[in-house]
Amino acid sequence: MIKLMESQIPQNYSTGLYSEKDYDLSAEHTSIVADILFTGVAQCLGDVKDRKFPSAFVFEENNKDFIAAAIVEYFENEDDPSKPGNWNYSWTWYKEDVPQNSKIYRTTQAELSSYFRGVSQSKYGMAFKDVSAITEVNRYLLVQIKKWLDENAIDGEEVGVEEPGVFQASVVVENGKKIFSLVPEGEIKKLIKDDSVIEV
């Protein structure tokens, strides 16, 4: 598992943001954006989660092509319904993993921008120009992580990249098919709070 800042992702991310999106963000900011992204999403889903239906924070391209999603879902205690169940918090690269009855949230929703602005300002003293800037830097980072995994996949071996305490992303090739995963790490998993046990 290679560290995010030791991979080619930061340079690709910075260069691509400038050439494709017209945003000037240095490669050194990549790990900061990763923290803002994963922490902001977890804080949002922690606030909006509902026991009755799943909540999903979905990232899409402008043309609605799916990029990735974070999902929080409550499961009753099957052994004893009178006892607390648990919350499952996960990320996925696959649209079909998002439950059809999910309530959907997106960075394009202006009212959700405060989650990302809050993390960026309190932890890093950074400010985003507007909602579109938050949307672009977040989703483009996910695009670059997936692209790196895709390009570095090796048959019969798990290849991964991580930002310690934030996320781990990996790919394995099984029967000639690439299987991608994305897992939140560390304190970020604990942001989905409840009286029940959290299961990740």
Residue 60 contacts residue 67 (beta carbons within 8 Å):
yes
Report helix, strand or coil for 71. Answer: strand
Task: Give the pLDDT score at 101.
Answer: 96
Q: Provide the pLDDT for residue 196.
A: 46
d(CA 91, CA 52): 20
Give the CA distances from residue 114 to residues 31, 47, 108, 124, in Å, rounded to whole numbers and listed in that order. 20, 12, 12, 15
CB atoms within 10 A of CB 194: 15
The pLDDT averaged over each successive group of 10 residues in the chain (200 residues) is 98 97 94 97 95 96 95 88 86 98 95 96 93 95 98 94 97 94 86 53
**Residue 199's pLDDT is what?**
47
Closest C-alpha to 36, from 199, 193, 188: 188
Closest C-alpha to 112, from 52, 48, 60, 49: 48
Task: Tell me if 96 sits within 8 A of 56, measured CB to CB.
Answer: no
